[in-house]
Chain A
Amino acid sequence: MIQLPLILNKPKFITTLLILASLFACQQKHISVSQMWIRKPVSATRATAGYMTLVNNSKVELELLKVTSPDFENIELHTMTMSDSIMKMNKVGSFKAMSGQAIVLKPHGNHLMMYGPRRELKQGDFVELTLHFKNLNDMTLPVEVKKDY
C-alpha cells in the first residue's frame, strides 16, 4: 500500500489545493478576479451579499449579465447609493467596465444580492458562483463564506 506524505493526507490541505487549482483555472485571459467573498447569512434570514473585483484586461467593454449558484435560489445585481445617511438599493441589468477598468463589488457599495441559501452556510465554506458575461465564456468560481460581524 502506498503511503502518502503526511501533509497530503490532510483533507484540508487537499481541499485548499483543489480550490487554488480551480481558481487558477478560472482566471480568464481577459478578466482577473480578486477580493471575492460572501457574507455569512445571519441565521434565520434568507438574504446576504457577495463581493468581488473583476478587472477588465481586454480591449473591449466587459459586461457582467448575471450570476448563478446551485447554493442560492436566485442572485441579483444591485447598486447601493448613500444620500443623507439613507441607503438605497436598486436592481440593475448588468455591471460594466471599460477596458482597463474594474467592476468593484464591495460592502456598502454595489453587490450581488443573494436570496434563499439552499444549505446552511458556515464561515470558511465555499460556494460555487457562475458569472455570465456578454460576449465571453461563463466563469465558475469557488467563493469563500466569511463572517464579518
Chain B
Amino acid sequence: MKTINYILILFLLSAVICASCENETAFRDFGIDTTITNLVDQNNKKFDLEQICGNVAWVYFGYTHCPDFCPATHGKLTRAWKKTGFRKNKIKTIFITVDPQRDSSELLSSYISNFEMPAIGLTGEMSDIESVAKRYGIYFERVPFGKNGQYGVNHTTSVYLLDSGGKLRYIFPYKASANKIAEITKILVPLF
C-alpha cells in the first residue's frame, strides 16, 4: 500500500513539474530592444514605453486603411481585453502605423475611437517607424493599388506581448483566438 502511495505522490509531483515547465517555455525573454522612440500618440504627444511601465502591453503594427487584418486584429484584441476581467486596466494596446504618410495623429484618434478598448496609436517620421519596426522584426512594404496613387501596405500581423517591465515575452500569431490571447496575457498581468 505504501508503495502505491509513493507512486501516486511521485506521479502528482511530476505532473505539477511538467505543468510549470510548460508555462516556463510558453514565456521567454526574446531579448529584443522594445524601445519605442520619437513617435507621437493620437493626441500628438511624444510617447515613451516608460509611460506605461507597470502594465503589460499588446503591441502590433498596421495601418488605418487596412481593409482586413488591422480592424480584425483590433476587434479581436478588444474581445480579448474584455475577457481579462478586472485585469483589463493593466493592459495597454499600442497600435503603431506602418503608413505614417496617411496616418496622422488625428486619423489615428478617429480610428481608435471606433473600438471599445482604449488604445494608444503611434505615428511619426518614416525613418523612426522603420527603426522601431526593425527592432521588433517587423516587415512592411508599400504596394501600389487602385487609382490616383492609392496603395496598400503588406505587413507582419503578429501581436507582441510585453510584460510590465517592457520585455517581449510572447508573440501571438494572427490565428491566435481572443480566448487564447486573454488567457496567456492574464498570467503576466501584475496583481498590484
Q: Is the interface of A mostly helix, strand, loop or mixed?
A: strand
Contact mask for chain A residues 61-92; partner B; CB cutoff 8 A; 1 contact, 0 none = 00000000000011010101010011111110
Residue of B nearest to A50 (CB): B67
B30 within 8 A of A: no
Q: Is the CB of B110 within 8 A of A39?
A: no
Given contacts A74-B147, A87-B157, A113-B146, contact A46 B113 (CB under 8 A): no
What are the residues of chain B within 8 A of A42 when measuring CB–CB? 64, 71, 111, 114
Interface hub of B67, B78, B110 (most chain A Cβ within 10 A):
B67
Q: Is the CB of A115 within 8 A of B157?
A: no
A76 CA to B147 CA in the complex, in Å? 10
Q: Is the CB of B74 within 8 A of A74?
A: no
Chain A nearest Cβ from B99, distance in angstroms? 11
Q: How large is the interface on B (under 10, 10 to 19, 20 to 34, 35 or more residues)?
A: 20 to 34
Partner among A74, A89, A148 whose Cβ is within 8 Å of the Cβ of B152: A89
Contact mask for chain B residues 133-156; partner A; CB cutoff 8 A; 1 contact, 0 none = 000000100010111001010111
What are the residues of chain B within 8 A of A36 when measuring CB–CB? none
What are the residues of chain B within 8 A of A85 when measuring CB–CB? 156-158, 173-174
A91 CA to B64 CA in the complex, in Å? 19
Chain A nearest Cβ from B6, distance in angstroms? 47
A118 within 8 A of B: no
Q: How large is the interface on A (under 10, 10 to 19, 20 to 34, 35 or more residues)?
A: 20 to 34
> Which residues of chain B (96-125) have a CB below 8 Å from chain A?
107, 110-111, 113-115
Q: Is the CB of A76 within 8 A of B143?
A: no
A107 within 8 A of B: yes
A16 within 8 A of B: no
Contact mask for chain A residues 26-52; partner B; CB cutoff 8 A; 1 contact, 0 none = 000000000000010011111111000
What are the residues of chain A within 8 A of B157 when measuring CB–CB? 82, 85-87
Q: Is the CB of B113 within 8 A of A43?
A: yes
A87 CA to B70 CA in the complex, in Å? 11
Chain B nearest Cβ from A18, distance in angstroms? 28
A108 within 8 A of B: yes
Task: List 19 A-B pairs, Cβ < 8 Å.
Answer: A39-B71, A45-B64, A45-B65, A46-B65, A47-B65, A47-B150, A76-B145, A78-B145, A85-B156, A85-B173, A86-B154, A86-B155, A86-B156, A90-B143, A115-B147, A148-B71, A148-B72, A149-B71, A149-B72
- By Cβ-Cβ distance, the 9 closest A-B pairs, closest first, are A149-B75, A49-B67, A44-B110, A88-B154, A47-B65, A149-B71, A85-B158, A45-B64, A115-B146
Give residues in B with beta carbon < 8 Å to A: 64-69, 71-72, 74-75, 78, 107, 110-111, 113-115, 139, 143, 145-147, 150, 152, 154-158, 173-174
Give residues in A with beta carbon < 8 Å to B: 39, 42-49, 73-74, 76, 78, 80, 82, 85-91, 107-108, 111, 113-115, 148-149
